Homo-oligomer: A and B are copies of this chain.
Amino acid sequence: MKGKVLIAVADGIEELEAITIIDCLGRAGAGLTIASVQKQQITTCREVTITADCLIADCTGQVYDLIVLPGGMPGAESLSKSVKLVEMLKEQKNAGRLYAAICASPAIVFEHHGLLADKKATCYPAMADKLTNKEAINQRVVVDGNCITSQGPGTAFEFALKLVELLFGAQKSNELAAAMLVKRP
């Protein structure tokens, strides 16, 4: 099946970004795995307690069509410190498979680990100075090859629907946007 997706989480992730990604991709029919880089039960920025499906170590040897990171602080920093996750992201990039991040994570995870070396990207505006390539910094969602980035909670729907489009096609993404009552320009 096309649509095997890993979403990585940690204490202090931005819950709205994580859940928007999960909701849209889940509705589209993706096979979602929510993997924690810490313990299985995590607490988000606004103190919502979520139990992940597994730990990142349990994902070893799996191949995902997409690996996606929510933002939020200190969540993004914890994602960045996961050796296992970063290794999987580097493999994902080099294999030409999709990898994506929103808000703090393009800056704190992707940029920090060289995953944007040849990519245009965007991130949360207050972190824009951390990105070397600022060419696309003002865009709400940026697709550059197999790397997809976005700005923050208010762009999460556009980001998630773009991920649906890339995995399942524009028609599915448009159907979802209509069913979910998303206003589009």
* B26 near A47: Cβ-Cβ < 8 Å: yes
Residues of B within 8 A of A153 (CB): 23, 180-182
- A48 proximity list for chain B (CB < 8 A): 19, 22, 34, 50
Interface 1/0 per residue, A138-158 and B, CB below 8 Å: 001000000000011111010
Check: A11 CB closer than 8 A to any chain B CB.
no
Q: Give how many A residues have a beta carbon under 8 Å from the other chain's beta carbons.
A: 32
Cβ of A15 within 8 Å of any chain B Cβ, yes or no, is yes
User: Could you say which residues of chain B place their CB within 8 Å of the CB of A32?
Assistant: 46
Q: Which of B41, B45, B155, B181 contacts A154 (CB 8 A)?
A: B181
Closest to A182 in B: B154
Alpha-carbon distance A177/B19, docked complex (angstroms):
18
Interface 0/1 of A28-47, CB less than 8 Å to B: 00001010000001000111
| CB atoms of B23 and A140 under 8 A apart | no
Check if A167 is an interface residue, CB within 8 A of chain B. no
* B residues less than 8 Å from A20 (CB atoms): 16
- Complex formed: what's the CA distance from A16 to B161 in Å? 14
Contacts of A47 in B (CB 8 A): 26
- Nearest CB of chain B from residue A161's CB, rounded to whole Å: 10
Residues in A49-94 with C-beta less than 8 Å from chain B: 49-51
Q: Are the CB atoms of B27 and A19 closer together than 8 Å?
A: no
Interface residues of A (CB under 8 A from B): 14-16, 19-20, 22-23, 26-27, 32, 34, 41, 45-51, 125, 140, 151-155, 157, 177, 180-183
Chosen A-B contacts, 5 in total, with CB atoms closer than 8 Å, are A15-B19, A16-B16, A27-B46, A152-B181, A153-B182
